[in-house]
Structure 1
């Protein structure tokens, strides 16, 4: 008995040690495969000093997370905040407030802001009319603070504080739960020398957000306003062409094809840098049917401008890993399919994200087909891909029901008549069996169950069974 207890304790100890050893090994393996290691293995020269504070990669169609590292760390996004301002500009155009050809007459304040050396700007001259289209290019290519302010004032008829409240309201609506905006451009209000001063808003506060929230914003921006990439993809563009105010703008997104860290398929979104935020990067790239969105925050230090390039090394490396591991593709065609041994009919083609060189698995729930995956959604407000379906047998019954409604009732009525007749005959035979039942002989050898009675039971059961079939599937004749 004592030996048995000792053996049980030894076995329990081995199991516990094995369990925690497995956890330690898995954690160690995961820790080694961090963003710095991935970037160095991709061939980029970098070190711990430049390692991002937070990062995330999501698939742009589904909003599913393919990579994350501290995605909910609160951070100053610097000029990436302009993406929220641009979202509100596109929304205003969609609501009919103005168009791309609408012009904004520059004010003395606008000209003064454009001349503040410490801010990223383009040239603005008071009294000149600037088309919305060109102001969008200035905002997204040149990262112009003055162009952003001019667009924000157009949306709200020069109510600067109202626009900030709109930014925060929109953030909540989109599911950006850890974001607060204090200015429209990413630069502290106090740095505008009083020329931009939203009433009641803290002038010295930095915008606050997270990698996850910026990914959510980018997801909705690209989904609702896909033309965004038209304004984020040029490496160089001239605005106010054929006027005395023509100006060439240069893009700071060095991952665009043709630039220093050119990446195949990259076409936006926005960079941002500041003394408190370091160097940040929001990017999107598309290869074949797969479009990805990534956010990289807090690369290096403002005092070392090498971080402006290093952010692209990290961004390219995790893009590479995500593109190599996952793809967005058609998983099931519209129409007849067999899923989990069930014959179903899909309302439309089903697309989703899957690891390359693997076979998808599916779930049937209520009237939806979903992908059985370990990937999570970047936000609970963004639902996982699904497609409606009907079971094939139910559809067949519906088709028979439709035929009935269209006047072809004869077969169904005839079927129910025969089913009922079988049940009636069954009961009749059971009754007759009582009449012809033999009296027991003196020896007691008479059979207890009459053949007529057995036949009656069979007819009743067949009639009931065929009636159930007719209701569930359709006429059997």
Structure 2
């Protein structure tokens, strides 16, 4: 009885310890994955006040998600919206509508916008021609609202509302399912004092997007227009050089190497801040073969400008976490491979993201090789990496059957040629026999010309062999 009581008490104690151990473990895992803890553990001084409302990290080649915290929260992206405007400019250039050297003549309205103190701008002078290249630098380095408007008007021949519709159409095309644009630059239309007014568009509405959607936009921007980083990576650049309108632009992306939160490999993309959106950040960095994209939304509060720097602390910390955990590399080489016990012939090299120190698990389906890394794509419109293959035995059988088929075709042609030749020779001999036929003397018995006999035999053999070839196959 005592023994039974002891066992019951011991079992109860184990259950209690297991319960609290589970709570502790779950708390530890949560703490380890919390962006604030990750950032503090990385050595950055920050607090819960600055903790981002949403964040995401994806790998730039595959679009696979390496980190996500509230990625589908609706948020005002502020000037990150300029990335969509830049996308449409690069697309128009690719379509041959204009070039980087094309100039835009500044209007009185452009000059007036550039003088609005509340907007982030560069200096624009009415009547001056500004190259598209310099306006792109102003948009993506200085975050100039007026430069963005000038580029948007170039794309649509000054149809401001049409450009907004293009932005929203492109968002749908790219799979940005929770994004709506109301202006081209991130600043609400009303703040332009009437100098920028897309007809039929709500002047007071903020653009709406999510961390996921902005990551999708950044993925496509870098994939389709990789030169984007040329315009997002300078920490400082002079536009309109060697003219009276030369101007030095400063980048607000403080994670660029050499700036306050310089991060190894960082070369873009765009910052953004507003009273309703707080401080936001879309970034990309590359190390070796691995390029990452991240989006940080809602750091701090507009009233506390420290958020402008704090967003980079969080961005750098989760970049570190992703770079230290994952890598993009070649997983299979083209050619003969043995996978899951099967001998295969792989049609191309296979690259993908994998956790460091692990080996990929491959899946063979139909004629596609895929691998499981536990990651999902940022959008269903982006397909996971795969490679085509053929089973080596089947491939050999197919090759042999093809060779046999070709051989049969060649032999068939040769056989029919010989068959036909026999028939023609037979007919020719019969014709010659008739041509040189001599009448026998009167009263003599008629004799069959040997040429006729031989000709008939040749013709019959040719016909017989032709029938055999059709029914059985080539006899050669």
Q: Which residue in 2 is equivalent to 1:74?
A: 74
Q: Structure 1 residues 272 and 391, CA, compared in 2 at 3 Å: closer, same or farther? A: same
Q: Per-residue displacement from partner, 1:408-462 (whole Å, max 9, x unpaired)?
A: 6899xxxxxxxxxxxxxxxxxxxxxxxxxxxxxxxxxxxxxxxxxxxxxxxxxxx
CA distance in 1, matches of 2:18, 2:150: 60
CA distance in 2, matches of 1:270, 1:222: 13
SS at match of 1:406: helix
- Asked if residue 29 in structure 1 is aligned to residue 28 in structure 2, the reply is yes
Shift of 1:22: 8.1
Q: Per-residue displacement from partner, 1:364-402 (whole Å, max 9, x unpaired)?
A: 111110111211110111111111111111110111022
Q: Which residue in 1 is equivalent to 2:263?
A: 263
SS at match of 2:382: coil
Shift of 1:360: 1.0
CA distance in 1, matches of 2:135, 2:372: 45
Q: Structure 1 residues 26 and 390, CA, compared in 2 at 3 Å: closer, same or farther? A: farther
Q: Which residue in 1 is equivalent to 2:308?
A: 308
Gap runs ≥5 in structure 1: 1-6, 412-477
CA distance in 2, matches of 1:340, 1:14: 46
CA RMSD of aligned residues (A): 2.2
Q: Which residue in 2 is equivalent to 1:99?
A: 99
Q: Which residue in 2 is equivalent to 1:148?
A: 148
- Asked if residue 373 in structure 1 is aligned to residue 388 in structure 2, the reply is no
Shift of 1:21: 7.0
CA distance in 1, matches of 2:17, 2:90: 56
Residues 16-165 of structure 1 mapped to structure 2, 5 A cutoff: 24=23, 27-33=26-32, 34-165=34-165
Q: Structure 1 residues 41 and 90, CA, compared in 2 at 3 Å: closer, same or farther? A: same
Q: Which residue in 1 is equivalent to 2:4?
A: none
CA distance in 2, matches of 1:326, 1:219: 18
Residues 358-397 of structure 1 mapped to structure 2, 5 A cutoff: 358-397=358-397
Shift of 1:406: 3.1
SS at match of 1:353: strand
CA distance in 2, matches of 1:160, 1:201: 10
SS at match of 1:91: helix
SS at match of 1:292: strand
CA distance in 2, matches of 1:68, 1:116: 37
Give the TM-score, by structure 1 length.
0.81
Residues 406-445 of structure 1 mapped to structure 2, 5 A cutoff: 406-407=406-407
Shift of 1:24: 4.6
SS at match of 1:66: strand
- Asked if residue 225 in structure 1 is aligned to residue 225 in structure 2, the reply is yes
Answer whether contact 1:403 1:409 (CA < 8 A) is retained.
no
Q: Which residue in 1 is equivalent to 2:183?
A: 183
Shift of 1:29: 2.8
CA distance in 2, matches of 1:373, 1:322: 14
Answer whether contact 1:84 1:167 (CA < 8 A) is retained.
yes
Structure 1 segments (4+ residues) deviating >3 Å: 13-27, 408-411
Answer whether contact 2:36 2:51 (CA < 8 A) is retained.
yes
Q: Per-residue displacement from partner, 1:131-180 (whole Å, max 9, x unpaired)?
A: 00000000000000000000000000000001101111111111111111
Q: Which residue in 2 is equivalent to 1:243?
A: 243
CA distance in 2, matches of 1:196, 1:172: 24
SS at match of 1:407: helix
Give the TM-score, by structure 2 length.
0.81
Answer whether contact 2:355 2:373 (CA < 8 A) is retained.
no
CA distance in 1, matches of 2:372, 2:18: 27
Q: Per-residue displacement from partner, 1:253-291 (whole Å, max 9, x unpaired)?
A: 000001110000000000000011010000000000000
SS at match of 2:390: strand
Q: Which residue in 2 is equivalent to 1:333?
A: 333
Answer whether contact 1:236 1:251 (CA < 8 A) is retained.
yes
SS at match of 2:407: coil
- Asked if residue 213 in structure 1 is aligned to residue 235 in structure 2, the reply is no
CA distance in 2, matches of 1:310, 1:120: 20
Q: Which residue in 1 is equivalent to 2:414?
A: none
Answer whether contact 1:254 1:309 (CA < 8 A) is retained.
yes
CA distance in 1, matches of 2:389, 2:43: 47
Q: Per-residue displacement from partner, 1:198-229 (whole Å, max 9, x unpaired)?
A: 00000000000000000000000000000000
Answer whether contact 2:139 2:147 (CA < 8 A) is retained.
yes
CA distance in 2, matches of 1:17, 1:213: 45
CA distance in 1, matches of 2:66, 2:388: 25
CA distance in 2, matches of 1:139, 1:228: 12
Q: Which residue in 2 is equivalent to 1:317?
A: 317
CA distance in 2, matches of 1:88, 1:345: 41
SS at match of 1:55: strand
CA distance in 2, matches of 1:44, 1:389: 48
Q: Which residue in 2 is equivalent to 1:193?
A: 193
Q: Structure 1 residues 345 and 194, CA, compared in 2 at 3 Å: closer, same or farther? A: same
SS at match of 1:187: coil
Q: Which residue in 2 is equivalent to 1:349?
A: 349
Answer whether contact 2:369 2:388 (CA < 8 A) is retained.
yes
CA distance in 1, matches of 2:226, 2:211: 21
Answer whether contact 1:148 1:184 (CA < 8 A) is retained.
yes
CA distance in 1, matches of 2:209, 2:193: 25
Aligned residues: 403
SS at match of 2:143: coil
Q: Per-residue displacement from partner, 1:304-324 (whole Å, max 9, x unpaired)?
A: 111100000000000000000
